[in-house]
Structure 1
Amino acid sequence: MKNLSFKDLTLSDEVQRAIVDMGFEEATPIQSQSIPYILEGNDLIGQAQTGTGKTCAFGIPAVEKIDPQIDSIQVLVLSPTRELAIQSCEELRNVLKYKDGIRILPVYGGQPIDRQIMALKKRPQIIIGTPGRVMDHMRRRTIKLESLKMIVLDEADEMLNMGFREDIDTILEKVPEDRQTILFSATMPKEILELTKKYQKNPVHIKIAHKELTVPSIEQYYLEVKESAKLEVLSRLIDTNDIKLSLVFCNTKKRVDELTASLQSRGFSAEALHGDMRQEHRDKVMNLFRKGNFDILIATDVAARGIDVDDVEAVFNYDLPNDDEYYVHRIGRTGRAGRTGKAFTFIYGREMYKLRDIQRYTKSTIIPMKPPSLNEVEEKKMSNILKALKENLKDESVSKFASHIERFIDTINNESEEHDDNFVSSLDIAGALLKMYGEQSGNLPSVVNEIDNAVEPGSSKDMVRLFINIGSDSKIQPKHIIESLVASTGLPGKLVGAIDIFDRYSFVEVPKEFAPEVLKSMKNYTIKGKRINIEKSNARKKSGRGSSFNRSTPFNRRSPKKSKA
């Protein structure tokens, strides 16, 4: 099915304006197929991987269904983690930009509940929250769902992995029967099918299937880089790899314009290409790029569909693409006509999981790499200067400049003799001229731009085992431990390792770099009404009756089995 333009969807003028501001050119496959059915009022099962645009797939029709005249909760979105709840809330706020009278609120553990109760008094119509905190508010009657029109289970398989099945059942059994139920999940295990059968009415099943994708033989790399460091890393990669012609891909038109302006201000020869430009202008830009009149073309996926240039040396995924197919189309624009090509992808945080999906479905290896250091950039630029200098030495007219240097050295040394200063040699003069040329030509950075936020690949591999003085005697389950970690530290639930629960204590594994924050944030933290103590554990698994919950084995972790550890 061809992806739809947002203009082809029956959306209000306010939402259309917001989508334009967000810079989206066309709906992703999951959005193209889901939005019309949800707008019609159907229950829906959406099966698609993370990062395919699911939030807007349910968020846009949810916003359109809100009646701003009714000051009660009309849409409830359940998310597995605080991080995802906040992220989804921010995206829906962008969709709501021109919709007056509609309020949205995220609710999650780890934030003072009194603050949330105050915010709920402002009568939001959309709630996005984690199951545990939503249930807490329902018990307190601070969240009332009598007017609910739609409930969304986002990343349902992940919620089940984290042990939220009981909570989901409790919430779904207490919402109005005539509500619309939307479920999104990357996979469809038995428990998800049980949920859909129990709580949905004749749902439409949308499945975005992964095609068998093959990637041409291109050197592929990824760099873990925070948003604030992306521009600096991109600049260094272009400089150190001595790239003459490159393509940079962004996910929105706004990003394309901003990045183009930033690169131009740094002295790079860069131009933009996106759907807001007139066709005449786009054709002109493409012709100039083919002729090599500028070095860097920054584009969106839609605008780049017609790009067919043989000499592109590298492709940069400044933003990770929304779809696996887009990744293949992007990097396939280098390494053509028998030439070698390189592809560099910037990721951070949860995007690592999406990158792993891309590797799996494209059956390719994407190699981690560190951002180039400032010394590497300087070495490369100096190497280029010396290379040009070597060529100039072949020019016969150079000899006439040598006499100027000789006279200048004599003058300087005569002045130095009078003032008892050090004498200079022709080597000193050459060094000074080289430095002056490098700085004036921009080939040597005059300002050091540090990359404080870049992350070295593989930094989150080692795990640390922590001891918690609470166990099954206090009715502790793995979900309570995961919820507490996520709520207190922002640690993504997917990164939590093995959990072992015994009668009076538990063990949990967390990535090494998160351990100090976990120990600090969870000091005197309360789980199930009991103040806990948490510390590093050097002990092996102790003998005794307990439950084992292994985060590394999918769908083996819904209800921990009792075992002899």
Structure 2
Amino acid sequence: MDVDPATSTDTGFAELGLRPELLRALADLGYEEPTPIQREAIAPIVAGHDLVGQAATGTGKTAAFALPLLQNLTPGGSDGPAALVLVPTRELAEQVSQAVHRYGRELNVRVLPVYGGQPISRQLQVLRRGVDVVVGTPGRILDHIERETLRLDGVKTVVLDEADEMLDMGFAEDIEAILTETPEERQTVLFSATMPPRIDAIAKRHLREPMRITMRREPTAADALPSVRQSAYLVARPHKAAALGRVLDVEAPTAAIVFCRTREEVEEVTESLNGRGFRAEALHGGLSQDQRDRVMGRLRAGSTELLVATDVAARGLDVEQLTHVINFNVPSAPEAYVHRIGRVGRAGRTGAAITLAEPREQRMLKAIERLTGQRIALEKLPTVTDLRARRLELVRNTVQTAMDADDLDRFRSVLDSLTDDADLEQITLACLKLIHEANGGDVDEPEIPSVAPQRERDVDNRAARRNGPGGERFDNRRPGRNRPGGDSVTRVFVGLGRRAGLRPQDLVGAIAGEAGLPARDVGAIQITDRFSLVEVPEADADRVIRALSHSTIRGRRPTVRRDRPN
């Protein structure tokens, strides 16, 4: 069933047949009308149907499955959970758990978030006392199952939230193992922002005649983006950090998220921004939950103005005062771009989405434009002159705001004393100078070299030389020979092969996700029974080796080094 919110009939929560305790909680929270996904999903789930729902982050899908869970729940009915919700990240586990607690507070529902990075002893204590709903990440849930501290034989409903993200993060085998521990007659609900074939495969294996709901016009997709100003700057890689600082100086956001590809890049960009005088905080998977909570608290309180984050770490975040989303790199998938900038366009809010693109990434911008049906304006990077003008404009705005205040009379005696020795114009100019210096003063930094846009035809021709028919890569060049454009390649040894279930897409995904190297820059891949060889640009080889050495592929941490020539 495809659902168009523009034509869907308005239905209040009371008409959905929810119990009075839930209706009172929703009223107290200020919820008046269900969102489209809630209107279509709540009744089937309450009725016990399995369901597959396609809906993006920010459409209200948490309540779409949480309210039916609570409707059918008998709190305290048993020591083990009656409902299990699987989510990809710690942040989302915490958010879903809080939502279930808020909706079900009059029902005295016992809900427990379970995720890594939190002391397991605390989770064990709560599990021993008994819980009704467990919300957790697959890895930690499986850990409890193996410890025999979590029994799922009493689970009546399982929810797979952000299913596509869980598969992208390599949780497919964990999900399969968890589902085998639950009763066959359970109800299964699956929500996903996208519906690739592997999601359909899970639905066919584990869901029984599911109802299907597709939100065709999602608020975080093209229909929600007109309020977001989208632009991009072409910047050579060595100048991206300086370009980011320049853009932030000119834009002066109230609060912004800067998206990076890897943890390493997050740390580097955060350090660079703080060195330029910004108040920036890093957010990535290496932080503990307490650290993440403190970072988010400072951002919402206004003591931090910039959050530098990876996609996974920022999953599920909604910051009301957010005015800018900045992509330090072009996202590798157009859908990821939509998810990112949708954060600044939620609930009708306006804002800006800015992307720093290398010349070779222009084709990816075109792919994003095709998905959204909207143009991303290629703009000229602000110059030093532009920055100076912007800072003078900030001075004017600061003074104008102060002039509108009603507490200026207390400074009149100071002005009177100054006018005894100087005229009013000289005093005013001196005050403007002080404000200007407080805002950073005169700009004395080199210009960032401009990059001219390449014609799309030239970019497509290079891609055609790199790829074979249907986009399959065939690259038989020997290590050390030059690629088109003069970049040499080297071959990296990875100590995993076919016996570990390794596939080419696993290697490409790990290199792109952990090292931040675009998938199109990965060359020939050779997989043997015990090891694999993959070609990468020589300039990126050390970064790829370092990143893969600290990551897991197919659940294992491999040996990674440069290939030793025969």
The residue number in structure 1 matching 2:5 is: none
Aligned with 1:434 (options 406, 413, 429): 429
SS of the counterpart of 1:46? strand
1:137 and 1:88 map into 2 onto residues whose CA distance is 16
Q: Deviations over 1:118-151 (max 9, x none)?
A: 5543433323334444334333322211110101
The residue number in structure 2 matching 1:470 is: 495
2:50 and 2:491 map into 1 onto residues whose CA distance is 43
1:479 and 1:65 map into 2 onto residues whose CA distance is 44
Aligned with 1:366 (options 376, 386, 400): 376
Structure 1 residues 393-472: aligned runs within 5 Å:
408=421, 430-436=425-431, 470-472=495-497
1:382 and 1:90 map into 2 onto residues whose CA distance is 40
Matched letter for residue 67 of structure 2: I
Matched letter for residue 46 of structure 1: G
Matched letter for residue 145 of structure 2: M
Aligned with 2:214 (options 178, 187, 207): 207
1:191 and 1:216 map into 2 onto residues whose CA distance is 28
The residue number in structure 2 matching 1:42 is: 49
Aligned with 1:103 (options 91, 107, 111): 111
Matched letter for residue 495 of structure 2: I
Q: Give the superposition deviation at 1:508.
A: 8.7
2:208 and 2:526 map into 1 onto residues whose CA distance is 39
1:191 and 1:509 map into 2 onto residues whose CA distance is 28
TM-score when normalising by structure 2: 0.50
Aligned with 1:141 (options 134, 144, 148): 148
Q: Give the superposition deviation at 1:46.
A: 0.7
Maintained 8 Å contact 1:103/1:126: yes
1:185 and 1:430 map into 2 onto residues whose CA distance is 63
The residue number in structure 1 matching 2:452 is: none
Q: Give the superposition deviation at 1:531.
A: 6.7
2:516 and 2:129 map into 1 onto residues whose CA distance is 30
1:19 and 1:438 map into 2 onto residues whose CA distance is 53
2:432 and 2:131 map into 1 onto residues whose CA distance is 61
Which residues of structure 2 form unaligned runs of 5+?
Answer: 1-7, 234-243, 257-298, 303-320, 322-340, 356-364, 401-416, 442-488
Aligned with 1:221 (options 226, 230, 236): 230
SS of the counterpart of 1:37? helix
* Greater gyration radius: 1
SS of the counterpart of 1:365? coil
1:152 paired to 2:152: no
1:113 and 1:495 map into 2 onto residues whose CA distance is 37
The residue number in structure 2 matching 1:558 is: none
- Is the alpha carbon distance of 1:101 and 1:26 closer, same or farther for their aligned partners in structure 2, counting shifts above 3 Å? closer
Structure 1 residues 323-338: aligned runs within 5 Å:
none
SS of the counterpart of 1:96? helix
Q: Give the superposition deviation at 1:217.
A: 9.3
Q: Give the superposition deviation at 1:112.
A: 7.2
Structure 1 residues 468-547: aligned runs within 5 Å:
470-472=495-497, 475=500, 477=502, 502-505=528-531, 519=546, 533=559
Maintained 8 Å contact 1:31/1:53: yes
Q: Give the superposition deviation at 1:114.
A: 6.5
Measured on the aligned residues, the alpha-carbon RMSD in Å equals 6.3
The residue number in structure 2 matching 1:91 is: 96
Maintained 8 Å contact 2:170/2:554: no
SS of the counterpart of 2:344? coil
**Identity over aligned pairs, percent:** 31
Maintained 8 Å contact 2:114/2:141: no
1:72 paired to 2:80: yes
1:127 paired to 2:134: yes
Matched letter for residue 92 of structure 2: Q
Structure 1 residues 270-281: aligned runs within 5 Å:
none
- Is the alpha carbon distance of 1:516 and 1:45 closer, same or farther for their aligned partners in structure 2, counting shifts above 3 Å? same
Stretch deviating more after TM superposition (155-164 or 501-510): 501-510
- Is the alpha carbon distance of 1:478 and 1:134 closer, same or farther for their aligned partners in structure 2, counting shifts above 3 Å? farther
Maintained 8 Å contact 1:223/1:371: no
2:97 and 2:510 map into 1 onto residues whose CA distance is 26
The residue number in structure 2 matching 1:378 is: 391
SS of the counterpart of 1:121? helix
2:139 and 2:111 map into 1 onto residues whose CA distance is 22
SS of the counterpart of 2:38? helix
2:65 and 2:556 map into 1 onto residues whose CA distance is 38
Maintained 8 Å contact 2:35/2:59: yes
1:261 and 1:107 map into 2 onto residues whose CA distance is 26
- Is the alpha carbon distance of 1:368 and 1:197 closer, same or farther for their aligned partners in structure 2, counting shifts above 3 Å? same
Matched letter for residue 64 of structure 2: A
The residue number in structure 2 matching 1:392 is: none
The residue number in structure 2 matching 1:196 is: 203
Q: Deviations over 1:22-62 (max 9, x none)?
A: 66554322122111221222211112234433223212322
Aligned with 2:344 (options 314, 320, 332): 320
SS of the counterpart of 2:52? strand
Larger RCO (CA within 8 A; separation ≥ 6): 1
SS of the counterpart of 2:352? strand
- Is the alpha carbon distance of 1:149 and 1:493 closer, same or farther for their aligned partners in structure 2, counting shifts above 3 Å? farther
Which residues of structure 1 form unaligned runs of 5+?
Answer: 238-258, 263-297, 299-316, 332-342, 348-354, 388-403, 410-425, 450-463, 544-565
Q: Give the superposition deviation at 1:194.
A: 4.0
Q: Give the superposition deviation at 1:174.
A: 3.3
Maintained 8 Å contact 1:320/1:346: no
- Is the alpha carbon distance of 1:405 and 1:131 closer, same or farther for their aligned partners in structure 2, counting shifts above 3 Å? closer
1:385 and 1:72 map into 2 onto residues whose CA distance is 59
Maintained 8 Å contact 2:56/2:193: yes
Matched letter for residue 104 of structure 1: L
Maintained 8 Å contact 1:103/1:123: no
2:491 and 2:66 map into 1 onto residues whose CA distance is 38
- Is the alpha carbon distance of 1:12 and 1:95 closer, same or farther for their aligned partners in structure 2, counting shifts above 3 Å? farther
Matched letter for residue 378 of structure 1: R
Q: Deviations over 1:200-252 (max 9, x none)?
A: 23322212113996899999236999xxx99x944599xxxxxxxxxxxxxxx
SS of the counterpart of 1:134? helix
- Is the alpha carbon distance of 1:479 and 1:118 closer, same or farther for their aligned partners in structure 2, counting shifts above 3 Å? farther
Q: Give the superposition deviation at 1:467.
A: 6.0
SS of the counterpart of 2:230? strand
Matched positions, count: 391
Q: Give the superposition deviation at 1:473.
A: 6.9
2:548 and 2:17 map into 1 onto residues whose CA distance is 47
SS of the counterpart of 1:128? strand
Q: Deviations over 1:50-99 (max 9, x none)?
A: 443322321232234333213211112233x3x2x531432331341362
TM-score when normalising by structure 1: 0.50
1:58 and 1:471 map into 2 onto residues whose CA distance is 39
- Is the alpha carbon distance of 1:161 and 1:115 closer, same or farther for their aligned partners in structure 2, counting shifts above 3 Å? same
- Is the alpha carbon distance of 1:503 and 1:161 closer, same or farther for their aligned partners in structure 2, counting shifts above 3 Å? same
The residue number in structure 2 matching 1:179 is: 186
- Is the alpha carbon distance of 1:501 and 1:2 closer, same or farther for their aligned partners in structure 2, counting shifts above 3 Å? farther
1:122 and 1:468 map into 2 onto residues whose CA distance is 49
Maintained 8 Å contact 2:113/2:135: yes
Maintained 8 Å contact 1:215/1:364: no
